[in-house]
């Protein structure tokens, strides 16, 4: 039997525990300022603040300098656009010439490198002039190669490229191997070994088979169908040759025709110099589009698949999985809300769950944005983005919320319409756009005077071989990725494999596998990424080396700036004016906290022999 004293003590303890529990919930509720977007900032740079090249235009009269890049080519516009963006991001001056002869007539200095579209190189005179550049010690990059017949018939070109034998004008590969130490993220083998790999294989496997001479360095090779072929006879895809004082890089294939090429160029520059130091964004985004919705749409389909309405699917099935994966990967989700998707079904949204999601996002350290996507059924073509914006504006006004939305998700085909729209009310602060627009727009850029574009770089539900290679390239060049999870596929499925269970399994597996190599980069929301992109596009810098000390001067810095430092068997041992972290061997993420930064290095093994540089 419990005595009165013990009963009283137990009662007091239970009362205290109940009070503490309830009190913590009250404090949490009051501290959760869910109606405030902590990531939104009133102050922002605009396009007029962006860094501009000192050399512009075709065949500019300005002499080449050791910080300028020359691009020669007129056949492949996609490569030229990639080179232009890479020079803009790395703050290099660019001179463009349509042919080898036009550059030879204008040449007045020694650029940092000459980049060539090799496809139009056919004549003996062009090959001779390119060989003369190498004799002058000018580094060369063949972004594409001349036709295999031209290479086979030119001993000069074979020697220049370091090709010993043309084994076959065309061969079919079983896969591709990227060697460690070139692009960030380590070695990768892109080969179909099991059924799941068949969906991932989207790389071109038809190439000329070149066997290299001794003295060349391979970065990526093809895996021939005959598995008994020795390493030295593997089909070369990306490599470097040396001739006299010049280094000649070559790319066999179309890898330079998209944003992957920027990472390849950055890696080549790291191979060219005793060290390579360049700015990066340092932002890893997870963009969840069309989630959550606030209308009980597509009910029959949802009931058939999940035995619940769409709002229940969003809340009970999707949110636990999304928040768990984001927390495990340390991502900060940006969820782009959509009041409704089908504007022709007469089912209007309700704000019953609106506060719930704002609270959940606040607790998950995430951000809410607005989705400009819609599904109007048979009337889709008759519906417009401007009509959607008006009707969505009514919904958000009715919630009474004061949340300030800084980011929107826009389909590529609607980008121009959205930029030209009258952005008032709930849209007045949406100065950053997320869009799956890499095929037509730069990775990051201004698309109007005040609005930035953050392109999607990966599909969170599917990670193909080419997407993985591009991810490594963009992490190398920019320290940037933007994973898209478009949950319209769940709410409005068009295939059997678009159930949440299947998509979530794919997404969770991808996040925990392919992004682990880049966990040292910071995870940001869309508004945080916007601020970093504006600062990245605005800043200028210079650097020089004296012995074991690198001096970095940062200009136009409004807050912290991040750089990637790549060395050759040298370790960073200390810094003044900032901090650093090691990403992988010979690769460091530098955070500049002042305008003058000093980096101290220490040799940890055999290093390349380079002279001290100033660039």
Q: Which two tokens stand for residue 329?
A: 């990967």
Region 63-78: mean pLDDT is 81
264 pLDDT exceeds 70?
A: yes
- 523 bridge partner residues: 284
E runs forming strands in 10-55: none
Kindly report the CATH number that applies to the domain delimited by 283-532: 3.20.20
Whether the per-residue pLDDT at 523 is higher than 50: the answer is yes
pLDDT at 195: 85
Considering only residues 406 and 558, tell me which one the structure prediction assigns the higher pLDDT: 406
Helix (H, G, I), strand (E, B) or coil at 229: coil
Residue 6 has what pLDDT? 59
Q: Is the pLDDT of residue 8 over 50?
A: yes
| Tally of CB atoms within 10 A around 189 | 11
Phi, psi of 320 (to 5 degrees): -55, -40
What's the rounded mean pLDDT across residues 308-329? 93
Q: DSSP state, 325?
A: H
**H or E segment at 262?**
helix 260-272
pLDDT above 90 (res 36):
yes
Rg value, the chain, Cα: 28
Sheet with 276-280: strands ordered across: 276-280, 561-566, 587-592, 578-584
pTM of whole model > 0.75? Answer: yes
In angstroms, how far is CA 113 from the centroid of its own chain?
25
**210-233 pLDDT per residue, tens:** 999 999 999 999 999 998 888 889
Nearest to 580 by CA among 601, 611, 609, 595: 601
Q: Which residues of 368-385 are buried (b: 16+ CB within 10 A; e: fewer)?
A: bbbbbbbbbeeeeeebeb
Distance of alpha carbon 443 from the chain centroid: 7
Query: How far is residue 313's CA from residue 319's CA, in Å, rounded to a whole number?
Result: 9
The tens digit of pLDDT for each residue in 367-412 reads 999 999 987 555 555 588 999 999 999 999 999 999 999 999 999 9
Q: Do 579 and 601 meet the contact criterion of CB atoms below 8 Å apart?
A: no
pLDDT reported for residue 83: 96
Assigned architecture for domain 539-603: Sandwich (2.60)
pLDDT tens for 181-207 read 999 999 999 999 988 889 999 999 999
Please tell me the predicted confidence (pLDDT) of residue 57.
Answer: 44
For 137-187, how does the pLDDT look when each residue is reduced to its tens digit (9 = 90+)?
999 999 999 999 999 999 999 999 999 999 999 999 999 999 999 999 999
Q: Please report the pLDDT score of residue 27 as a whole number.
A: 42
Q: Identify the pLDDT of residue 67.
A: 75
What pLDDT, on the 0 to 100 scale, is given for residue 408?
98
pLDDT of residue 58: 46
Confidence band, pLDDT 50/70/90 cuts, at residue 76 = confident
Closest CA to 281 of 518, 440, 89: 89
- Given its phi and psi angles, is residue 556 left (phi above 0), alpha (psi -120 to 50 degrees) or beta? left
CA distances from 454 to 27, 408, 409, 470 (A): 36, 10, 10, 16
Tokens of 564: 């990637």
Q: How far apart are CA 124 and CA 452, in angstroms?
A: 46
- Is 189 strand, coil or helix? strand
Confidence (pLDDT) at 494:
85
Q: What average pLDDT does the chain have?
A: 90
* Strand 367-371 relative to strand 432-435, pairing: unpaired
pLDDT at 237 over 50: yes
Average confidence (pLDDT) over 125-130: 94
C-alpha distances in Å from residue 359, one per residue of 32, 337, 485: 7, 14, 21
Predicted confidence (pLDDT) per residue in 465-520, tens digit: 999 999 999 999 999 999 999 999 999 998 888 899 999 999 998 888 888 889 99
Give the per-residue pLDDT at 380: 55
Is 80 exceeded by the pLDDT of residue 92? yes
| Domain spanning 62-280, CATH class | alpha beta
Does residue 373 contact residue 289 with C-beta atoms inside 8 Å? yes
């Amino acid at each position: 039997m419990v005595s009165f004293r013990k009963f009283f003590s137990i009662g007091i303890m239970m009362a205290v525990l109940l009070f503490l529990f309830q009190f913590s919930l009250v404090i949490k509720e009051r501290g959760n300022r869910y109606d405030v977007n902590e990531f939104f900032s009133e102050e922002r740079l605009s396009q007029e603040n962006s860094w501009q090249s000192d050399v512009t235009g075709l065949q500019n009269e300005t002499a080449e300098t050791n910080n300028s890049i020359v691009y020669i080519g007129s056949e492949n516009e996609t490569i030229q656009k990639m080179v232009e963006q890479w020079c803009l991001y790395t703050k290099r001056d660019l001179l463009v010439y349509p042919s080898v002869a036009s550059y030879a007539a204008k040449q007045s200095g020694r650029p940092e490198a000459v980049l060539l579209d090799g496809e139009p190189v056919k004549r003996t005179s062009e090959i001779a002039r390119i060989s003369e550049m190498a004799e002058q010690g000018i580094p060369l990059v063949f972004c594409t190669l001349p036709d295999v017949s031209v290479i086979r018939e030119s001993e000069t070109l074979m020697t220049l490229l370091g090709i010993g034998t043309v084994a076959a004008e065309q061969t079919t590969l079983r896969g591709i191997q990227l060697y460690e130490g070139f692009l960030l993220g380590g070695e990768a083998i892109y080969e179909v070994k099991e059924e799941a790999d068949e969906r991932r294989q989207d790389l071109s496997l038809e190439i000329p088979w070149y066997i290299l001479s001794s003295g060349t360095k391979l970065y990526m090779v093809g895996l021939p169908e005959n598995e008994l072929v020795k390493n030295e006879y593997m089909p070369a895809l990306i490599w470097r040759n040396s001739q006299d004082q010049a280094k000649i890089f070559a790319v066999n294939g179309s890898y330079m025709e998209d944003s992957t090429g920027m990472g390849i160029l950055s890696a080549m520059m790291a191979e060219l110099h005793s060290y390579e130091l360049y700015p990066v964004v340092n932002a890893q985004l997870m963009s969840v589009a069309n989630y959550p919705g606030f209308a009980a749409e597509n009910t029959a389909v949802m009931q058939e698949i999940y035995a619940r309405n769409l709002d229940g699917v969003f809340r009970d099935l999707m949110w636990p999985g999304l928040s768990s994966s984001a927390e495990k990967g340390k991502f900060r989700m940006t969820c782009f809300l959509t009041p409704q998707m089908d504007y022709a079904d007469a089912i209007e949204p309700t704000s019953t769950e609106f506060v719930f999601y704002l609270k959940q996002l606040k607790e998950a350290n995430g951000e809410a944005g607005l989705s400009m996507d819609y599904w109007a059924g048979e009337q889709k073509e008759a519906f417009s983005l401007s009509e959607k914006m008006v009707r969505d504006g009514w919904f958000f006004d009715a919630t009474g919320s004061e949340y300030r939305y800084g980011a929107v998700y826009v389909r590529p085909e609607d980008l121009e319409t959205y930029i030209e729209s009258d952005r008032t009310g709930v849209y007045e602060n949406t100065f950053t756009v997320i869009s799956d627009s890499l095929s037509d727009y730069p990775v990051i850029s201004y698309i109007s005077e005040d609005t930035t574009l953050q392109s999607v770089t990966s599909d969170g539900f599917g990670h193909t071989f080419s997407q993985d290679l591009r991810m490594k390239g963009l992490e190398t060049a920019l320290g940037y990725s933007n994973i898209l999870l478009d949950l319209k596929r769940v709410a409005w499925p068009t295939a059997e494999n678009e159930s949440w269970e299947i998509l979530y399994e794919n997404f969770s597996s991808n996040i925990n596998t392919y992004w682990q190599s880049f966990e040292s980069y910071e995870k940001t929301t869309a508004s945080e990424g916007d601020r970093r992109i504006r600062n990245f596009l605005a800043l200028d810098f210079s650097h020089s080396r004296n012995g074991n000390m690198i001096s970095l001067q940062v200009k136009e810095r409004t807050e912290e700036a991040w750089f990637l430092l790549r060395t050759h068997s040298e370790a960073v041992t200390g810094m003044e004016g900032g901090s650093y972290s090691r990403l992988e061997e010979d690769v460091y993420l530098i955070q500049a906290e002042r305008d003058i930064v000093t980096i101290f290095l220490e040799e940890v093994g055999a290093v390349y022999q380079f002279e001290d540089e100033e660039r």
